[in-house]
Amino acid sequence: MNVAVVKYNAGNVLSVMFAIRRLGLEPVWTDDPEQLRSADRVIFPGQGEASSAMAYLRSRGLDEVLTGLSQPVLGICLGLHLMCRWSEENDTRCLGILPHEVRHFDDSLKVPHVGWNEIGGLSGSLFGGVDDGAFAYFAHSYYVETGENVTAITDYSTRFASAVQVRNFQAVQFHPEKSGDVGERILRNFLLGGTAR
């Protein structure tokens, strides 16, 4: 299994690499278009700021590479946001893979939303063997609005999409690499195959 992790100016990549290695796989961290295109699975993780991340991707032509991938792709946290159409964070035009918009949590809430929260309404192969209402670890100030293509929902005063899927592209708001056994199962399902709910 050839696993590529997208290299760009985003944080929290090493913990994803370690989580993949715990599953017995050796990922490559790369911004090389050919390595990304030839990988069996691509993971697009990260924490950071949307506009600078998109500027980096565009400067290296990675925006076109990512939107053109045909193998399974998993976005995590900022990766989810960048796969959407637009982010309220610095009015950023994103990749447009997912027909969703990214909004900032209401100022009345404690932001960022950090810690464990439930994921519910689960559907799709990513969540095979994961109980509805399981807990995952979140760390974010922006969220993806609910709508079609949503495969998991979380409530933090407002309901938001904690997972989305369009074609071969899946993405999660939480951090599976920091979500214990639940997160390991989700990564295993993505990388090694899982049974659809």
Which residues touch 90 (CB under 8 Å, ≥6 apart)?
49, 50, 51
**Strand intervals (E) in the chain:** 3-6, 28-30, 41-44, 73-76, 86-87, 92-93, 101-104, 113-119, 134-140, 142-144, 150-156, 158-166, 169-172
3-state secondary structure 100-141: CEEEECCCCCCCCEEEEEEEECCCCHHHCCCCCCEEEEEEEC
Q: Which residues are catalytic?
A: 77, 175, 177
